Chains A and B, each alone.
Chain A
Amino acid sequence: MTDEEIIKKVLADKHEFGKIIDRYEDKIRRYIKRISYCVDDDVDDLVQEVFISVYEKLNSYSSEYSFSSWIYRIAHNKTIDFIKKKKIKLTNVDNEELFEDSKNELLEDLAMAEDDKKRVRQALKKMDVKYRNIINLFYFEEKSYIEISDILKISKSKAGVLLYRAKKELKKILTDEN
């Protein structure tokens, strides 16, 4: 069943909204964790806030965008607001599980070996949130430039430039550590 079909059902019966939660909860949770590094309780609250906001605004969703981009956009806004509001400090948790399946492409692009995963994880934590976010979207959420531009409301070329700068920043952090 496509997202659009589920949305039509939700508009008729609110209990169908559970299907959207089932489909996106894990993705949104991982996304929030990867960019915010906040503690699990805060992540829980944020995930709930995101879905409640999605529920409230469902009538404003336009099918000219993918539903996935739309929901990520809401998650992005909520998380950034939360980071700004709370001025959260990064947890000491290594978040290893979040990067477990990662992402040989990122290591390849950085010319790093498989053993350097932990260093890359730590370096990601030190990055500016806007750079961490784009790395996350491109390598971990595997979003295309078009989807990234929809989620972050930037142009496709800006997404490319931002990703380039993010990788440069990541390399710099890794080099400085050495």
Chain B
Amino acid sequence: MKTKDKIFEKIDKDEIKMRPKWKFEVEKYGLVFGVSAISVLSGLTMLVSIWLIQMGVNLEILEFGVTGKQMLVGDIPWSWLAAFGMSTGIGIFLFSKIGVEYRKTGWIRLIRLMLLILAVLITLVLLKDWFELELLVRLV
């Protein structure tokens, strides 16, 4: 019996079907969603922990009423939160485009893009004092 016949016999006998495209899409985006969710959760946990530590140290400012609360909110690491949000958003976008499949050209482009994003983020964080006034206005 030829291999071709054996394969078709097995396909018919075991009722093997082609998996529909949507299942592969769900798997792909499920993976993207899962990895992204883990990244977001771990990033947020870190940021909240930093904030809680700061809050623990500065708890006495709560005694100053509204002003104290405003100062406490001001202690939230907004610039890091913004940097985290931006980088995570871009990461999720790139991951959904490229996925886990390795591709040379995509990889090189990805590294270049990540370096560029990193440079922009570092610049933003270094210059955060410039934006602080605007941020306070927005908070008020």
Q: Are the chains A and B members of one assembly?
A: yes
A60 in contact with B3 (CB, 8 Å): no
A58 CB–B CB distance under 8 Å: yes
Beta-carbon contacts of B5-46 to A below 8 Å, as 1s and 0s?
011101100001111110110000000000000000000000
- B-contact bits for A132-161, CB 8 A (1 contact / 0 none): 000000000000001001000111100000
| Interface segment, one of A48-56, A90-98, A102-110, A165-173 | A48-56
Query: A48 touching B20 by the CB < 8 A rule?
Result: no
Asked if B102 is an interface residue, CB under 8 A from chain A, the answer is yes
Let me know if B138 is at the binding interface, CB within 8 A.
no
Question: Is A116 at the interface (CB under 8 A from chain B)?
Answer: no
**Which label, helix, strand, loop or mixed, suits the secondary structure of the A interface?**
helix
Q: Which residues of B contact A60 (CB under 8 A)?
A: 19, 21, 24
Interface size on A, residues (CB 8 A): 26
Residue of B nearest to A22 (CB): B4
Q: Which of B7, B18, B19, B103 contacts A51 (CB 8 A)?
A: B7
Q: A18-B8, A155-B104, A156-B104 are in contact. List 10 more A-B contacts (CB 8 A).
A: A14-B18, A17-B8, A25-B3, A44-B6, A47-B3, A52-B7, A58-B18, A149-B104, A155-B102, A155-B107
Residues of A within 8 A of B (CB): 11, 14-15, 17-18, 21-22, 25, 44, 47-48, 51-52, 55-60, 64, 146, 149, 153-156
By a beta-carbon cutoff of 8 Å, the part of chain B in contact with chain A is 3-4, 6-8, 10-11, 16-21, 23-24, 102-104, 107
A-B contact pairs, 25 of them (CB 8 A): A14-B11, A15-B8, A18-B4, A21-B3, A21-B4, A47-B3, A48-B3, A48-B6, A48-B10, A51-B3, A52-B7, A52-B11, A56-B16, A56-B17, A56-B18, A56-B19, A57-B18, A57-B19, A57-B24, A59-B20, A59-B21, A59-B23, A60-B24, A153-B102, A156-B104
